[in-house]
Every structure is written in C-alpha cells, then in structure tokens.
Amino acid sequence: MLLEPLQIHDTLEQKIWSDKSLKEEVQEKLMQIANDFFDDLGLDGADVVGVTFTGSLANYNWTKYSDIDLHILADFDKIDENYDLVREYFSAKTSNWNKNHDIFIFGYQVELYVQHIGEEHHSTGIYSVDKNEWIAEPSIEKPEVDKLLIQKKFESFSDMIDRVEDIFDDHDYENAHEFSIKLAKKIRKYRQSGLEDKGEYSTENLVFKLLRNSGNIKTLYSVRNRSYDKMMSLGGDYEKKFKIFINKDEIEDKPGFDKLDEIEKFQRRVRRRHRRAKKWFLGYGKQKAGRAYPGKPSYRRGKSAPAGFGGT
C-alpha cells in the first residue's frame, strides 16, 4: 500500500519554507505566476484579490508526490452575475494552463486554481502568498486513520478503473467514455464529502491521494480522453469496431456461477493488465535511446507464469 500520504513530518518542506514563512524566492515566483496567468486572461474590471498556497505542501503531511496548490482569489461577481458560468470559465482556463505548463519549484509542480472570494476552502493549512502570512496555520497532529478501510476503498476504486480500461481495450469506446466520466464524478464527490466532514485526514481524501499517487487517476482521465478521440475519429478503428458491436448478438447474462466461464474471464483480464502494466513501465518510459535500450521489449508473459497465464 502507498502509505506516503499518511506520513506526518516534524517540519514543513524545508526546500519551500524557511521556518514557517515562504522562502522569498518561492514567494516571488508564485506571485509572478499568478499575476501572469490572470493578466493573460484580459478580463476588464477584474483583478487578483489574493493568492494563497494550500494543500499538503502547506502542511506537515507533504510527500514527494505533493503539488504546489496555488489558489488565485477573484470576485466572480465582477465578471458576470452567472456564478456557474464564471466557475466553468475559470475551470477551463486553469485546466488548459495546468495541461500546457510544467513549472516545478524545487521538484514540486505548480497547479493553478481560481477561487471565488466567497468560496469555502477545507484545509488546515492556508498561506497568503501576497501578504506573506498564515490564514490558517497548520499544526503537527497524528491523526487516527483506518488503514484497512483505506486499503479496501483504494482497491475497490482501482478495480473499477481497471474495468474501464478493459472496456476501452474491447474497443467499446462509447461505454468506456461514459463509464470514465461517471467514475471520475463519483471519485470527486466521494473526496469532497470527506473533506467537508473530517477534512484532509478523512478516509475519502486519503483514498483519493492514494489513487492519484499510484497513477490511477491519470489512467482514468487518459481513458476518458482517448475514448473520446476514438469516437470522434472517422475512417479508422472506431467505425469498424462500432459496426461489429451493433451487429453482435447481445451477450446473455447467465444466472449462477459457471467456474470455467469465470476462469476464462479472469485469465483474460490478467493478460490484459499485464500488457498494460508493461507498456506503462517499459513502453511508455522516458529512457534514452542507446545500447542499453536497442528495441522495445516483448509484452508477452513469460513461460514461468502460472498455468493458463503465459503467452498470448
């Protein structure tokens, strides 16, 4: 189990903080990033009201996976009276910025978020970057967490994400896209309920962090995006597979437990997940070309695998 999100340090991250204040060079960079982002939007009559730094790096539960959560405070009412419309506008702009920029400060990536001045934010550590002072100063606490429950919920969501990938691998892109969207919403809602109830150390938030740190969240959004691209493409794979699916007889949902049928399904899933895992660890790696990497490795399982799992 990835237990890093449960670790509590005795100090704030010393690369970012000098005692309990942001290092001057960090503060200057964060303010410049926030102001540049907002200025580029070209919004008349709207200004940056404040800039805050929050999340685990503004707390004692930081890990190597942590991001610098940089929140830009703005008055949505000065942009338009339709709050939801403005919220969606900023969501799209920050999403695009986060996708197109890889800014790291001492090894931690900067993630932008625009927050309405009246929006409640659930965090035990909130630092005002523009005023250089704590809004909510964190304290070192050893929270009691149910590690077994966290493990079970993590495995449950991981399994659901695996099944979304299975649907994609079956070339059923429409269902993969729909399922990935529903699951992403479910995970977001699950996390938010925990934050509102017990805060950062809630089971729900810790499960989300494990899903993010393990790469599961990234995989889920990858399936969502790739399935959409397949659906919107013409003259390729999706059209052919879609014709096959609509002409297929509907699979009968048999009652009871057929052991042979279930073993076959299980073996098929194991083979698929092995190929996917190997692609992520080897095929999609960032190793440089050279003698040590003369070609792509085989994605087949070795002959030493258990009976029924080897080969293609």
Lowest mean pLDDT among 33-37, 81-85, 96-100, 118-122: 118-122
Identify the pLDDT of residue 245. 47
* CB contact set of 73 (below 8 Å; sequence gap of 6+): 48, 49, 50, 51, 52, 115, 116, 117
Lowest mean pLDDT among 35-44, 90-99, 288-297: 288-297
pLDDT tens track for 229-240:
999 998 765 555
Lowest mean pLDDT among 74-88, 137-151, 240-254: 240-254
Higher pLDDT, 75 or 312: 75
Residue 246 banded pLDDT, cuts 50, 70, 90: very low
Looking at residue 290, what DSSP letter applies? B
Length of the chain: 312
> What are the backbone dihedrals phi and psi of residue 293, each rounded to the nearest 5 degrees, phi first?
-130, 70
pLDDT of 185 > 60? The answer is yes
Identify the pLDDT of residue 257. 52
CA-CA-CA-CA torsion sign (167, 168, 172, 176):
positive
Lowest mean pLDDT among 123-132, 214-223, 301-310: 301-310
Report, as an integer, the average pLDDT of 263-283. 59
* CB contact set of 114 (below 8 Å; sequence gap of 6+): 71, 72, 74, 90, 91, 93, 94
Higher pLDDT, 90 or 242: 90
Report, as an integer, the average pLDDT of 289-312. 52
Residue type, 262: E
